[in-house]
Chain A
Amino acid sequence: GAVVSQHPSRVICKSGTSVKIECRSLDFQATTMFWYRQFPKKSLMLMATSNEGSKATYEQGVEKDKFLINHASLTLSTLTVTSAHPEDSSFYICSAPGLAGEGTDTQYFGPGTRLTVL
């Protein structure tokens, strides 16, 4: 099946710094990728839809200037948490839609990135 990777898997940073998380589709092209945030023992919350070649679409309540998304190529989307604060500490997961024609129309999830802001 399709594979999506994320890097880094874990990052610890100081408050006020910016952190970039990469999401790559390894064996397929993804014009669209999704970024989710998950708090401990909570559900996945869709943050934004990343679109190759155009601006990302953010969900209501998500700060665009705080969470910068860049879909640089058909296999790479990046999420940059700018001026991170402790409340930004969370588990961030990206996903890419399944290939056209696949019966389940599923999404392939990356393994997630755990961000801890001190």
Chain B
Amino acid sequence: AQKITQTQPGMFVQEKEAVTLDCTYDTSDPSYGLFWYKQPSSGEMIFLIYQGSYDQQNATEGRYSLNFQKARKSANLVISASQLGDSAMYFCAMREVPVYNFNKFYFGSGTKLNVKP
């Protein structure tokens, strides 16, 4: 089964508007971490935001916020006031802590975000 599911291969958003990128996950581990990364055309992976499974509040980092719904196993990324520089691939990832491989990450298939001027 897929550990991380991103159902939106591509998204368009008007500059200055907010956009939500969907992510659902699957794990039986009670302790896990959820991450969002941005990958521009250069290929580098840029860390955006983190949500721990035991965190009570939704994570926020500047214009990024994570809508964490634990019961639904969803961790959607909200980007407010989109900028042209936000155009990139966005990956949702999950860290599990299995016994033999700590910090093992699973990535979703990604969402290509295009911000229109």
Residues of A at the B interface (CB closer than 8 Å) are 32, 34, 36, 41-46, 49, 57, 91, 93, 95, 97-98, 103-107, 109, 111-112, 114
Contacts and interface: CB of A to CB of B under 8 A. Distances in A.
Interface in B44-86: 44-45, 47, 50
Interface in B72-111: 89, 91, 95, 100-110
Interface residues of B, number: 24
A93 B43 CA distance: 9
Given A32-B102, A93-B45, A112-B43, A44 B107 contact: yes
**Majority-rule SS of B interface residues:** strand
Counting from the closest, the 3 A-B pairs by CB-CB distance are A109-B45, A104-B50, A97-B103
**Majority-rule SS of A interface residues:** strand
Interface of B: 33, 35, 37, 42-45, 47, 50, 89, 91, 95, 100-110, 112
Contacts of B43: 91, 93, 111-112, 114
Contact of B105 (A107, A111, A112): A107
A95 B105 CA distance: 10
A111 B44 contact: yes
A106 B108 contact: no
Contacts of A41: 89, 110, 112
